[in-house]
Structure 1
Amino acid sequence: MTDTVTDTATDTVTDTATDTATEELTPEQRRRTAMLEKIARIEEQNRKAVEAGGKYIERHHQRGKLTARERIELLVDEGSAFLELMPLAGWGSDFAVGASMVTGIGVVEGVECMIVANDPTVKGGALNPMSLRKSFRAAEIAEKNMLPSINLTESAGADLPTQKDIFIPGGKGFRDLTRSSAMKLPTISVVFGNSTAGGAYVPGMSDYVIMVKERAKVFLAGPPLVKMATGEETDDESLGGAEMHSRISGSSDFLAQDEQDAIRLARRCMARLNWRKKGNPPAATYAEPDLDPEELLDLFPEDLKEPFDPREAILRIVDGTSADNAVPFDEFKPLYGSSLCVGWAKLHGHPIGIVTNARGVLMSEEAQKAAQFIQLANQKDTPLLFLHNTTGYMVGKDYEQGGIIKDGAKMINAVSNSKVPHLTVIMGASYGAGNYGMNGRAYDPRFLFTWPSAKSAVMGSEQLAGVMEIVARESAEKKGEPFNAEEFQGIKDFVMQAVEDQSLPEFLSGLVYDDGVIDPRDTRTVLGICLSVIDNQPIEGAMNFGVFRM
Structure 2
Amino acid sequence: MTVLDTAIDPRTPAYLEARGVVLERLARLEAALDEARAGGGEKAVTRHHARGKLLPRERVEMLLDQDSPFLELSPVTAGGTEFPIGSGVVTGIGVVEGVECVIVATDPTVERNPLDPYPLEKIRRAARIASANRLPLVNLVESAGEAGTGGPPPAGGLARDLGRLAIERVPTVCVVFGPTRGDDAYLPQLSDYTIMVRGHAKMLTIHPQPVNGSAKGPKVRSAPTVPAGVTGPADQLAEDERDGLRLARQCIRRLNWRKRGPLPRTFPPSPPKYEADDLLAISGGVKAAADDPREILARILDGSDFDEFKPGHGPALVAGWGELHGYPVAVLAGTGAPHTAAETQKAVHLIQLANATDTTLLFLAARFGPTEIEALTMSTVPHLAVGTGRAGDPRFVFSWPADEPAGGDDDGVIDPRDTRTVLGLCLSAAHSAVVEGAGHVGVFRPGKVDL
The amino acid that maps onto 1:105 is: I
Shift of 1:320: 0.6
Q: Is 1:308 aligned to 2:291, yes or no?
A: yes
Instruction: Give the residue type in structure 2 aligned to 1:443.
Output: G
Paired residue type of 1:448 = V
Match of 1:211 among 193, 196, 204: 196
Q: Which moved more, 1:306-315 or 1:179-188?
A: 306-315
Check if 1:373 corresponds to 2:350: yes
What's the counterpart of residue 85 of structure 2?
Answer: 97
Alpha carbons of 1:156 and 1:360: their partners in 2 closer, same or farther (altered >3 Å)? same
C-alpha separation in 2, matches of 1:140 and 1:527: 18
Q: How far off is 1:217 after superposition?
A: 1.3
When normalised by structure 2's length, the TM-score is 0.86
For residue 167 of structure 1, report the CA deviation from its aligned partner: 4.1
Is residue 120–residue 154 contact of structure 1 (8 Å, CA) maintained in 2?
yes
Work out the CA distance in 1 between the residues paired with 2:223 and 2:361.
Answer: 52
- The CA distance in 2 between the partners of 1:260 and 1:171, in whole Å, is 32
Letter in 1 for 2:235: D
Task: Map 1:16-415 to 2 at 5 A.
Answer: 26-55=13-42, 56-123=44-111, 128-156=116-144, 167=153, 170-196=155-181, 199-220=184-205, 239-243=223-227, 247-249=230-232, 251-283=233-265, 284-302=267-285, 307-320=290-303, 328-358=305-335, 360-388=337-365, 408-415=369-376
Write the distance in 2 (CA, Å) between the matches of 1:160 and 1:336.
Answer: 62
Aligned equivalents of 1:295, 1:346: Cα separation in 2: 20
Would the alpha carbon gap of residues 248 and 101 (structure 1) be closer, same or farther in structure 2, given more than 3 Å must change?
Answer: closer
Gaps of 5+ in 2: 1-10, 207-220, 444-448
Partners of 1:296 and 1:305 lie apart in 2 by 12
With over 3 angstroms needed to count, the CA separation of the structure-2 counterparts of 1:37 and 1:160, relative to structure 1, is farther
- Cα deviation, 1:61-117, whole Å, max 9, x if unaligned, reads 111111000000101011000000011111122210011110000100000001000
Asked if structure 2 preserves the Cα contact closer than 8 Å seen for 1:106 and 1:113, the reply is yes
Query: Does the residue aligned with 1:141 lie in a helix, a strand or coil?
Result: helix
Q: 1:191 to 1:375 in 2, by over 3 A?
A: same
Cα distance in 2 for partners of 1:532, 1:178 equals: 25
Q: Which amino acid aligns with 1:444?
A: D
Counterpart for residue 209 of structure 2: none
| % identical aligned pairs | 46
1:362 deviates by 1.8
Give the superposition deviation at 1:197. 6.0
Which piece of structure 1 moves more, 335-344 or 179-188? Answer: 179-188
Name 1:520's counterpart in structure 2.
416
SS of the residue corresponding to residue 40 of structure 1 reads helix
Query: What's 1:418 paired with?
Result: 379
Instruction: Decide whether aligned partners of structure 1 residues 81 and 350 sit closer, same or farther in structure 2, where only a CA change above 3 A counts.
Output: same
Q: Distance in 2 between matches of 1:209 and 1:50?
A: 27
Q: Which amino acid aligns with 1:357?
A: G
Deviation, structure 1 residue 425: 0.1
User: For residue 441 of structure 1, what is the aligned residue in structure 2?
Assistant: 390
1:203 Cα deviation from its structure 2 partner: 1.4
Q: Is the 2:93–2:102 contact (alpha carbons within 8 Å) kept by the matching residues of 1?
A: yes
Deviation at 1:248, TM superposition (A): 5.0
Paired residues of 1:157 and 1:198 also in contact (CA < 8 A): no
For residues 170-218 of structure 1, the C-alpha deviation after alignment (integer angstroms, 9 at most, x for no partner) is 1121232233123211111101010146644421221111111111112
The CA distance in 1 between the partners of 2:149 and 2:244, in whole Å, is 32
| Matched-pair contact (CA < 8 Å) for 1:360–1:389 | no
Give the SS at the match of 2:177: strand
**Aligned 8 A contact 2:39 2:107 in 1:** no
The aligned amino acid for 1:515 is D
1:450 is matched with 399
Q: Quote how far apart the aligned CAs of 1:286 are.
A: 1.3
Q: Which residue of 1 aligns with 2:428?
A: 532
Match of 1:492? none
Give the 3-state SS of the residue equivalent to 1:441 in structure 2: coil
Query: Conserved in 2, the CA contact under 8 Å of 1:118 and 1:125?
Result: no
Q: Quote the offset at 1:518 in angstroms.
A: 0.1
- Distance in 2 of aligned mates of 1:159 and 1:344: 53
Relative to total residues, which structure has the larger helix share, 1 or 2? 1
Question: 1:264-303: CA deviations, max 9, x gaps?
Answer: 1111111111001011111332111111112211323448
1:365-420 Cα shifts (integer Å, max 9, x gaps) = 11111111111111111001000065x8xxxxxxxxxxxxxxx4432222222111
Distance 1:157 1:333, change over 3 A: farther
CA contact (8 A) 1:49 1:97 kept: yes
Change (3 A) 1:197 1:290: closer
Task: Name the amino acid aligned to 2:176.
Answer: V
Using CA pairs under 8 Å that are at least 6 residues apart, name the structure with larger relative contact order, 1 or 2. Answer: 2
RMSD of the alignment, in Å?
Answer: 2.9
Distance change (3 Å), C-alpha of 1:385 and 1:158: farther
Q: How many residues were matched structurally? A: 421
Does the Cα contact within 8 Å between 1:357 and 1:389 map onto a contact in 2?
Answer: yes
TM-score, normalization by structure 1: 0.71
Cα deviation 1:122-147 (Å, max 9, x = unaligned): 11798931101111111111100001
Deviation at 1:506, TM superposition (A): 4.2
Q: 1:201 to 1:334 in 2, by over 3 A?
A: closer
Indicate conservation of the 8 Å contact 2:146/2:180, yes or no.
Answer: no
Give me the whole-angstrom Cα distance separating, in 1, the residues matched to 2:191 and 2:410.
27
| Offset, 1:59 | 1.2
The alignment partner of 2:427 has SS state of: helix
